[in-house]
Structure 1
Amino acid sequence: MSITGSTGLELIGGGLQVVVATHNPHKVEELQRILGPLLPGVELVPDDGPEPVEDGDTFEANALIKARAAHERTGLPALADDSGISVDALGGAPGIHSARYAGTRDAQDNLELLLANLAGQTDRTARFVCAAAWVDADGELVERGEWVGTVADAPRGEGGFGYDPIFLPADADGRAAAELSADEKDARSHRRLAFEALAARIQRA
């Protein structure tokens, strides 16, 4: 699982091509920013294949399902993540169901339902969770990152995506994730923590 090109990583124009198992262009851009300095020479390409059924019961299981499917379909090493928001007062919900929480797969619908379900709650502690997975011909790796904070009363900011407008990270001086610059978010997010740990393991393997 090294990135020398000797263990299944395909050399493309002097770089190493790795498929990212997502149809979300925001995630590909974010991962390129995060992983560029950590895995120099790696070129991330989006997966254009069908989405597998994510029937795992943890973030880690679903991340591995997606990475396995992309690797099996393309023959390339694959990266995937499964991420979402876990709210203490809701027993950890939406959790692995974050992207489909409202049943519409619409981010605004999900956000509004979460705020409605938290109406009147004084404990608004939450965390963004990300499980990052790598699958290649040599095996599988998975790491987890968590970004702790609280849920705001109403959306704030114009940046980010998903639940970013209502998530107030504990390390962001009262700002919502959607009010952070891309660099600020990349430096501290759950995705950064998970993929930084994963990159370290890839380098060591």
Structure 2
Amino acid sequence: MVPTIVFVTGNANKLKEVKMLLAPQAGKEPTFELTNTDIDLDELQNSSLEEIARHKVSQAQSVLPKGTAVFVEDTALCFDAFNGLPGAYVKWFLKSVGPEGLVRMLEGFETKKAEAVTTVAFADFEGQVHIFQGKTRGKIVQPRGSRDFGWDCIFEPEEGAGKTYAEMEKVDKNQISQRSRAFALLSKCLNDA
């Protein structure tokens, strides 16, 4: 029987995407089973993405049975014009002003460049915490494509052939996204263990 690893999320879209990213390569047996739990974790007010993720996984460890392998994921959108803001606060900005409001924030600024960053904090079966981070450069554009997944409709990655994340097929997005890069590092850790 393969061990179970818990992903702390209540977001069905995020869970589906992460299951795709951590799926074993064709012809290989899974080395773990991925489940999820929806734990309400505090949002640490900090500009360090690593510290925010570390705090969240520590909280999850304190709630789950001892010895449970668990990971959390936190994604930020960092505008060059704002020296990295809204960063980890993008979820709250998006909730308050929507995608159009995020775009309007950059009116008057010459650069629309941005960086999408995903930080994964994984606590292994012994409780040791590992941090993995993936980054994708791009720019902020007027909303295009589906609005089902946060700010995907306004982020056009440099490697995206002129499409926003929301306009891309999942398989294409998963080849270049910051989330796929962070989870590739987690996958390597899980499979090398």
Short-chain TM bin: 0.7 to 0.9
Aligned residue pairs: how many?
Answer: 187
Is 1:70 matched up with 2:70? no
Q: Please give the root-mean-square deviation of Cα atoms over the aligned residues, in Å.
A: 2.0
Match of residue 86, structure 1, among 58, 78, 97: 78
Deviation at 1:115, TM superposition (A): 1.1
What is the identity, as a one-letter code, of the residue corresponding to 2:153? P
Structure 2, unaligned stretches of length 5 or more? none
Structure 1, unaligned stretches of length 5 or more? 1-13
Match of residue 142, structure 1, among 105, 118, 131: 131
Match of residue 186, structure 1, among 168, 174, 181: 174
The equivalent of 1:175 in structure 2 is: 163
Deviation at 1:96, TM superposition (A): 1.1
SS in 2 for 1:15: coil
**Residue deviations 1:105-147 (CA, integer Å, cap 9, x gap):** 36xx342221111113221111110111100342010011101
Aligned-residue sequence identity (percent) comes to 27
31-40 vs 140-149, which moves further: 31-40
Deviation at 1:158, TM superposition (A): 1.5
- The alignment's TM-score, normalised by the length of structure 1, stands at 0.83
The equivalent of 1:37 in structure 2 is: 24
- The alignment's TM-score, normalised by the length of structure 2, stands at 0.87
The equivalent of 1:27 in structure 2 is: 14
Mapped contact 1:19–1:70 kept (Cα < 8 A)? no
SS in 1 for 2:24: helix
Aligned pairs for 1:86-165 within 5 A: 86-101=78-93, 105=95, 109-138=97-126, 139-152=128-141, 154-158=142-146, 161-165=149-153
Mapped contact 1:128–1:190 kept (Cα < 8 A)? yes
C-alpha spacing 1:51/1:40, structure 2 compared with 1 (3 Å):
same
191-200 vs 62-71, which moves further: 62-71
